[in-house]
Amino acid sequence: MSDSSAASGGLSDAGWGDLPADLLQCIGGMIGPTPSNVNSASLVCKAWKQGIPAGVQTLELDVHPSEAAWAAKCQQLAALTPSLSSCKAYVSTAVPKLEFGGKIEQLARQLKHIEHLNLQLSEGFELWLDSSSGHECFAGFSRLRSLTLSGGSFTQAAAQRLLQGLVMAIPQLEELHVLPEACCGLGDDEVTLLSQLQRLNVLEFRAYHLTAGGLTRLTGQLPQLASLSCHGLDTCLDAATASCFAACPSLRELHLGMDYELPESAMQQLRDVAGDVSMRFRWTDKLTGLLRTARFYLHARLVRLDLGCVRLAHDPSTLLMEPLASLTALSDLRMSVYSNGDSTLTLQLSELCALSNLQVLHLTKQHAYFPEQRRMAESSIAVPLSAEAAARLAAGCRKLRALRLCLGGSDVTAEGLAELRQFSSLRSVVLAASCRKLRALRLCLGGSDVTAEGLAELRQFSSLRSLSVNAEPFGSPPQPVALDLLQLPRGLTQLELRNLASLKLESCRLRSRQLEALALALPSLQQLKLCHVSGLCDEGVEALSRLTGLVELSVVAPHNKGLTQSSLALLAPLRSLRYLTWQSDDLTALGPVAAAYQHFTSLRRLKLSCTHATLQHACGSKGQEELRQRMPYCNLNLIC
C-alpha cells in the first residue's frame, strides 16, 4: 500500500473521538451559551465529555423559581463546566423576590471560580435584600472581577444593602454596571458606598437624585477609574462639577447621559478629561450653543453624541449639519428632528461626509403638532436620500456599519437606496418610511410592483445582519396596504441573505408560499417580527418551524380570522425560542389555549393579547398554575 493510501485509510478510520484535545476545547467555546447545548455535545463520546466542557468559557442560564430545581441545576453546571469564567443569569418575575439572595448564594457555591457575572432582571422584578443577604449572596465569588445588574428595580435601602454586600464580599471588584429600570438608581448615599470599592476601574450606573456634590465625591475617591458612565443625570452640570472628572487622570472613557444641555463653562472643563467623551441628551433646545462649544473644546475627543429630540426652526445646514461635520472624531451620531414651521426645511445628509470615523448613524424625522391645523402631521423637514446624497455619504463615511433612517416616503428614492450598497462595512440597516400616498411609498420600498431583480439586489449587502421594513401609510390606522414586499417567489429565492439575523415586516402582505420561501432563504434568522401582515394563516405558520435558531418571535395580527393561537403548536421545533409575543382575535376574546403553549418550556417572556380576567376565565386557577409550571423561567405579560 502506498503512503497516500495509508494516509487516506488512517483518516477514514478516525472517529469523532480522535479529534485533538485543543480542537475539542475550541468547539466547546463555540458550541453555544446554553447548558443544554453543552450537555448535548458532551454525550457524543467519552472524549467529547472530557474535552468540550474544558473549552466552555461563557454560559447563559435561567434562574429556576423552585429552590430544589435550582440547587440541582447549579450542581450540574459545576460538574459540566469546570473552566467557566463568565455567566449570564436571567431572573424572571416568577422568582420570589425574598429568595433572590439565596438563589445567587447557591450559584456562588457551585460556580465560585467565575470572574464575570451578569444578572439580567426582567421587567417588573424588584430586587430585595435583607441586612445580611447582601454579603452572603456574593461571599462565595472569590474570583469575581466584573458584575452587571441590569433591568428590574430596587428601593434605596435595597441598593445600599447590595453595595454594602459588595464592599464586604468582593473588595477586589474591578468592573461594576448597575442599570435598573427608570425611576430608580444610585444617589448620593450610594455613591459613598461605591467609593469604598477601591479597585474599580470601570463604573457604569443610572443616577437617581444624584447631586453635584455626590458626583464630585465619587471621582475624588475613585481616581483610578478608567471608564465612567453616568446615565440619567437630572441636574445640569456646572463648571465646578464638570471639573471633577479631571481628578481621574487615567480616565479613558467618559459617558454622560443628561436631560439638559451643558453650559459653555462646563464644556470647557471637560476638555481636561484625559480620554474620549460621550454625551446623550433627552432633548436639545439650545442647539447652536451646544455644538459651537463642543466644536471649540471637544472636537478631537467627542466620539459619541446623541442629541435626543431636536426642534429645527431655521436653516438646518447652519444650525445643525455644519457644526456636526466639524466634530471629526465622532464615531456614533444619533438624533431625532422635527419642525412645525410654515415652510419646508431641507436637511442634507451628504453634509456629514466629513465624518470619516462615523460607524453608527441614526436619524429619525418625528411627527410634529401644527397648532393652526390642530393636528399631528409629518414634520415640515425634507431629508432627501437621493443617489447623489447617498454616494457622497458613502464616499466619506466608509467605516459606517449601522444605519437607521426613519424618514418620510418622499425623502427616499430607489436610486438613493441602490447607492447604499457602496457602504462596504454596513451590517445593520433600518429603513422606515411613512407617507400620505402609496406612490411615494412605492418609490421607497418598491410598492406593489417590486421585481425579482430588485429583490436580488439585496444580495449586495453580504454582511447585513438586521433589516426592518415599514410600509404603513402616514395618517392611517394600522392596516395592511396593497404592498407585496416579497411578491415573486423567484425574487425571494434569490434574496439569500444568509447572514441576516433580524427581520421586521410591518403592514404588508405575506402569503403562505412566500413565508415558506422566507424560511428557506434566511436560515440564520434569530429575530422575526410580523406586525399587521395580511395573508398569514394557521397552515402558513408551520413554515416558521424551519427557523430553528429563532430566539424571538413576534406576531401581531388583529382582525385576521385565518390566524389563531392553535398554530403555535406547529412551532414545537423552535427549542431556542426565548421571547414570544402573540396577538390574535381568538386569544384576545377567549383567552389562551394551554395546549398551544405546552412546548415552550424555556421561554423568558410571553406577551399575550388578553387580560388577567380572560386568562382566569379560560384556564381557571388550576390551569394558570399548570401554565406557569410548564414555563418556570417565564415572565407572563398581559394587557392588564
pLDDT of residue 629: 81
Q: Give dist(CA 177, CA 197) in Å, integer.
A: 13
Residue (of 317, 320, 304, 308) closest to 360 by Cα position = 304
pLDDT of residue 491: 36
Q: Give dist(CA 429, CA 501) in Å, integer.
A: 12
pLDDT of residue 468: 57
Is 586 within 8 Å of 564 (Cβ atoms)? yes
**Residues 6 or more apart whose Cβ sits within 8 Å of residue 520:** 493, 546
In the three-class reduction of DSSP (H, G, I as helix; E, B as strand; rest coil), residue 108 is classed as helix
pTM of the model: 0.80
Q: Is 547 exposed, middle or buried (0-12, 13-18, 19+ CB in 10 A)?
A: buried
pLDDT of residue 482: 29
Sequence letter at residue 52: I
Read off the pLDDT of residues 226-256 as tens digits, 9 standing for 90 and up: 999 999 887 768 888 888 998 899 999 999 9
- Grid look-up 447621559 returns 257
pLDDT of residue 336: 93
Sequence letter at residue 102: G
Quote the distance between the C-alpha of residue 62 and its chain's center.
19
Q: To 5 degrees, how large is the angle CA 622–CA 623–CA 624?
A: 90
Read off the pLDDT of residues 85-109 as tens digits, 9 standing for 90 and up: 899 999 998 899 889 999 999 999 8
Q: Is 7 exposed, middle or buried (0-12, 13-18, 19+ CB in 10 A)?
A: exposed
Q: Give dist(CA 36, CA 415) in Å, integer.
A: 48
Q: For residue 118, give the C-alpha cell.
A: 451578569
Q: For residue 617, give the C-alpha cell.
A: 376565565
pLDDT of residue 14: 62
Classify each residue of 275-295 as buried b or exposed e, where b means 16 or more C-beta atoms within 10 Å of its C-beta: bbbbbbbeebeebeebbebbb
51, 566, 621 from 628: Cα distances, Å = 37, 19, 11
Is 324 within 8 Å of 333 (Cβ atoms)? yes
Is 283 within 8 Å of 308 (Cβ atoms)? yes
Task: For the chain, list residues with pLDDT below 50.
Answer: 1-12, 434-462, 471-496
CB-side exposure of 437: number of CA atoms within 13 Å? 5
H or E element that contains 231: strand 227-233
Is 266 within 8 Å of 296 (Cβ atoms)? no
pLDDT of residue 447: 32
Residue (of 548, 550, 507, 514) closest to 530 by Cα position = 507
